[in-house]
Structure 1
C-alpha cells in the first residue's frame, strides 16, 4: 500500500530514476503480477471507455468516403453500402459493441471475445464471418516495457470491423494513406485484402518493438561484461519479463495466420492467400528472433553468474596470497615471543634486526616464487 501511494504521487520521469536507488524497488514484483495475472475463466472486468471514436472508410476502386463519428449509431448505415466498408471503433463499451455486432450479424460468442481482457490471440470462423483477435505491441521508452493493446478484427462480406481499446494510438496510419490513393492496390481488391493489410502492419510493428528491445539487451550485455552488480541482475530480470510478454503475443499469431491460410471460407479470395503466407513468413521470423532473444538472456544470466564467481575467486586469491605472505612473520614472531629463558639471539645486539629482516625477505622471496610459477 505504501509503494502504491508513492507511485501515485510522483511522476513517471521521477519513478524512472527512483527505481535505481534501492534494491527493493529495483526488484519489484508489480510487473510480474501484471504479466502472469491472467485467468480466462473469470468474467472480464473491463472499464468502459471514456471516449469512443468511430472512423469509417467506405470505398471502391473509383470513390472513397471518409467519416469520423463520436457515436457508433452513425456507422450502422454502412451495413449495405454496396462498397467495401472499414469501420474502426476506438474505445470499447459493452452496449456499443453489442449494437454494432447485432447490426452486422456477429455471433454473441465473438462479442464476448471482443470484450475479453488478456485473451490469447486466436482466429475463428462463425456464421459467415471470419474473426481475428490479437494484440498490437508498443515499446514504452520511458518505462522500458512492452505494452500491448488488444484488437479484434471482424471480416465479413464487403466489410471489416476493427475494435481497439486505446483511442489514441494504433499502427494503421500507413493503411489509411494507401486508402486515400485512388490507384492503390488495396482500393482495387476486396475486403479480405484489407484484412491482410491490417494483419501485415500489426506483425511488421512487432519487429519495431523487438528492435527497441534488442537495443536494450545489447546495452545490458555491455554492462554485465563491464560490471556485474545487483543493478545488472535487476535489468536482466526486467528484460526477461518483457521477453515473456513478447513471446506470449508472437507465438499464437502463427496459429492465427495458419488457420487463415488453411481456411476454405468464401470470404477469402484465392489471390489473397499468397499475401497471408507472406505475413506468416514474417511472424515465423519474428518468433525465431524472439527465441534468439531468449537464448541471449539465458546466456547473459550465465555470464553474470560466471563474472560474480570469477570476482569472488579473485578476492579469495588475493586473501590467500596475503595470508601466505603474513605467515613467515607470524611464525618468527611466535618463536621469539615464547617465554623461555634460553632463546637463540635473545640477548644479541642484532637479534631484533635479524628477525625483522627475515620477516621482510621471506615474503619477497615467496612473491618471486609465486610470480615465477604464474600464480598471479
Structure 2
C-alpha cells in the first residue's frame, strides 16, 4: 500500500503468502516499483534482525503473523491521512462550497470503499488462522493473532466511520450550497424591492400627459431625487431592522 501525503491518491500492492510447513518455509510474492512499497518487508527484516518478540526462536506461524502484522500497520498512516483530508474538506465546504470539492468527496468515498475491500479479507484470514489446530498455529502465536485481529477490527470500524463522515460531507455541501443560494436570492429580493416603487414613480412621470402640474414646478427635479433617496434610505433601514443587511 502506498500513500502520498501531498496528494489525494494511493496505490495498492498485493502480497501473496505461502506457508510450507513441511519444509518450514514461508514464501511471499509482492510487487513494488519504489522504496515505499517495500516498507513492510523492511519491518519484517528488522524484527528478525533485532529478534523482536524473540521471533528467531519461534516457529513458522509466528513469522506468518509478523508478515500480516507489518502489512496491517501500513493502514494506519493511510487512515490518518484520510482523517486529515476530511477535516480539510469540511473546512473548505464551510468557507466556500466550491463544486470542485464534490470530486474530492466522491474520490474519498471511492478510496475508502476500496481500502475496506482490502482489509476485510485480511480480517477473515486472521479469524481462520486462529481456529486452526495448535500443530499449525501455536497457542502463543494465537495470542498475537487476537491482537492483530483487534487491529483489523479497529481499521474496519474507522473506515465505516470515515464512510459515514464522507456522506455527511456531501450533505454539508448541499446545505452550504442552499445557504449560498438563499443569500443570493435575498440580495436580489432586496434590490427588486427597492426598485419597485422607484420604477412606479418614474413610470408615472414618464407618461406623455398634456397636463402634469408637477413638471412645471421650479424645483420638481430636486424634489424627485429627494423623494427617491428618502424611499431608498427608509427601505434600507427597514431591511437592516429585519437583519437582512
Q: Check conservation: 2:130, 2:137, Cα contact below 8 A.
A: no
The 1:341–1:268 alpha-carbon spacing in structure 2 relative to 1, beyond 3 Å, is: same
- Equivalent residue, structure 2, for 1:358: 227
| Structure 2 CA distance for aligned equivalents of residues 279 and 310 of structure 1 | 46
Structure number with the higher helix fraction is 2
Deviation for aligned residue 1:142: 5.6
**Retained in 2: the 8 A contact 1:140–1:147?**
no
Separation of aligned partners in 1, 2:6 and 2:91: 21
Runs ≥4 in structure 1, deviation > 6 angstroms? none
Task: Please state whether the residue corresponding to 1:361 is helix, strand or coil.
Answer: helix
Q: Please say if 1:264 is aligned against 2:133.
A: yes
Q: Which has the higher contact order (CA 8 A, sep 6+)?
A: 2
Match of 2:32 in 1: 166
**Structure 2 unaligned regions, length at least 5:** none
Assess, with a 3 A threshold, how the Cα gap between structure 1 residues 334 and 312 changes in structure 2: closer, same or farther: same
8 Å Cα contact 2:130-2:142 kept in structure 1: yes
Partner of 2:55: 186
1:56-205 equivalences in 2 (<5 Å): 137-141=1-5, 143-157=7-21, 158-166=24-32, 168=34, 169-170=37-38, 171-181=40-50, 185-205=54-74
Q: Secondary structure at the match of 1:154?
A: strand
- Of 149, 159, 166, 1:280 maps to 149
Contact 1:160 1:195 in 2 (8 A): yes
Q: Which residue, 169, 173, 196 being the options, matches 1:304? A: 173
TM-align CA RMSD: 1.9
Structure with a larger share of its residues in strand: 1
Secondary structure of the equivalent of 1:346?
Answer: helix
How far, CA to CA, are the matches of 1:192 and 1:343 in structure 2?
A: 105
8 A Cα contact 1:240 1:297, kept in partner? yes
State the alpha-carbon separation in 2 of the partners of residues 192 and 358 from structure 1. Answer: 92
| Post-superposition offset of 1:204 | 1.1
